[in-house]
Amino acid sequence: MDPSQDNPTVRFKAFFWALALFALFGVVLGILALTNRKQPQTLEDIAAVSRYENLDKVNGAQSAQFSYKEVEAGKTVQVKPQDVFALVGQKLAATKPSAVEKPEQVIPGTAAAKSIEEAAKNAAPVKVVETDPNAPIDPAVMDAGKTEYALCQACHGPDGNGVPGLAPPLAGSEWVNGPVENPIRITLRGLGGPIEVKGVDYNLPAPMMSVAHLSDAQLASVLTYVRNSWGNKASAVTAEQVKAFRGEVGLPALQASDLKSPH
Ligand code: HEC
């Protein structure tokens, strides 16, 4: 290049033009990215979004519930953050929803849809014979049930009165004291969505997960225990009754509307 043409002013201007163009390009890209933000498209996206929403809700409920504790009337202490985090972690691990939870999220005709249909067929209406509500309850079963209740207690509270923001009461609950199949199916499949208990509407952030890892005998004892504690009075639950519903394990969590009306 002819050095006489090397005009610093021109170079300076050209540089700023280039800079301006570059910046403009960035702004346009930014606007495009913002306006083009898509709604979640795939089932995985939807599941991921709901997982994050769930996480937010659980975190909120947990910290509201546990970061401050009333140790005696009018005296509140702050619970150590690490204790709160540990508890939140436990709850989240326990309630982590599966990627595809509801039959309507499943693409028809796929293997997943077929296995859900298959499971639903196996879960054809089961008939259970209710045990005599007036028969005396075996104290050994009550003891065993009390031990198993430690699991339920984490959410439903030591006296079955429920925990605000976490789980509804079992004491006096029509779902507990009503038809035996309701508490059996709830524990085998889990329960989510709005539910009315003792005239109060609950819509809790996290569903109850299935506790089907407990054996028929363990579930029978814990259900006998909750049906006959804190003023509850209902027939004992037998391992045979629980076994009759085992076929439902693995099906999506129940909603209150899937249960037998307790009224
Ligand atoms: C991780 C917390 C958690 C644990 C552990 C848990 N539940 Fe639940 N339970 C819930 C929630 C949340 C609901 C309300 C579900 C809904 O939103 O529809 C519920 C609802 C119920 C209901 C129906 C509503 C009512 O209040 O009567 C029964 C019965 C029940 N649980 C029994 C049990 C038993 C028995 C155990 C122990 C084997 C247990 N739960 C363990 C959270 C839990």
- In a mutational test of the pocket of ligand 1, which residue from 146, 155, 161, 198 has the highest number of ligand atoms less than 8 Å from its CB? 155
> Which atom of ligand 1 is closest in space to residue 255's alpha carbon?
18
Q: Fill in the DSSP letter of residue 105.
A: G
Residue type, 190: G
| Cα 68 to ligand 1 centroid, rounded to whole Å | 24
Among 191, 221, 228, 230, residue to substitute to test ligand 1 (most atoms within 8 Å of Cβ):
191
Q: Give the number of the atom of ligand 1 that is nearest the alpha carbon of residue 91.
A: 1
Give the position, in ligand 1's atom list, of the atom nearest the Cα of 203.
Answer: 17
| Closest listed residue to residue 145, CA positions, set 232, 67, 36, 229 | 229
Domain spans of the chain?
47-95, 131-258
Query: Which residue's CA is the nearest one to ligand 1's atom 33?
Result: 152
Number of CB atoms found within 10 A of residue 163's CB:
18
Q: Nearest C-alpha to atom 37 of ligand 1 is from which residue?
A: 152
Q: Which atom of ligand 1 is nearest to the CA of 219?
A: 38
For 131-258, give the CATH class. mainly alpha
**For each of the chain's 263 residues, which pLDDT tens digit applies?**
566 677 888 888 999 999 999 999 999 999 988 887 766 667 777 778 878 888 887 777 766 666 777 778 888 887 777 777 777 777 767 665 555 556 667 777 777 778 777 777 665 677 788 888 889 999 999 999 999 999 999 999 999 999 999 999 999 999 999 999 999 999 999 999 999 999 999 999 999 999 999 999 999 999 999 999 999 999 999 999 999 999 888 888 999 999 999 98
E strand or H helix that includes residue 69: strand 68-72
Query: What b/e string do you get for 209-220 counting C-beta neighbours within 10 Å, with b at 16 or more?
Result: bbbbebebebbb
pTM attached to this predicted model? 0.63
Residue given tokens 């199916």 in the structure block: 185
Q: At CB < 8 A and 24+ separation, what contacts does 208-214 make?
A: 208/155, 208/167, 208/253, 209/94, 209/95, 209/253, 210/249, 210/253, 211/151, 211/152, 211/187, 212/187, 212/188, 212/246, 212/249, 214/148, 214/151, 214/187
CA 5 to centroid of ligand 1, rounded, Å: 83
| Residue 194, SS3 per DSSP | coil
Q: How far apart are CA 159 and CA 169, in angstroms?
A: 9
Alpha carbon distance 251, 116 (integer Å) = 7
Pick the residue whose CA is nearest to atom 18 on ligand 1: 192
Q: Is-contact 242 183, C-beta < 8 A?
A: no
User: How many whole angstroms separate alpha carbon 143 and alpha carbon 238?
Assistant: 15
Atom number in ligand 1 closest to CA 154? 5
Question: Cβ(233)–Cβ(114) under 8 Å?
Answer: no
> Which residues have CB under 6 Å of ligand 1?
94-95, 151-152, 154-156, 167-170, 173, 175-176, 183, 186-187, 191-193, 195, 197, 202, 204, 207-209, 211, 222-223, 226, 256
Q: Which two tokens mark 114?
A: 């077929």
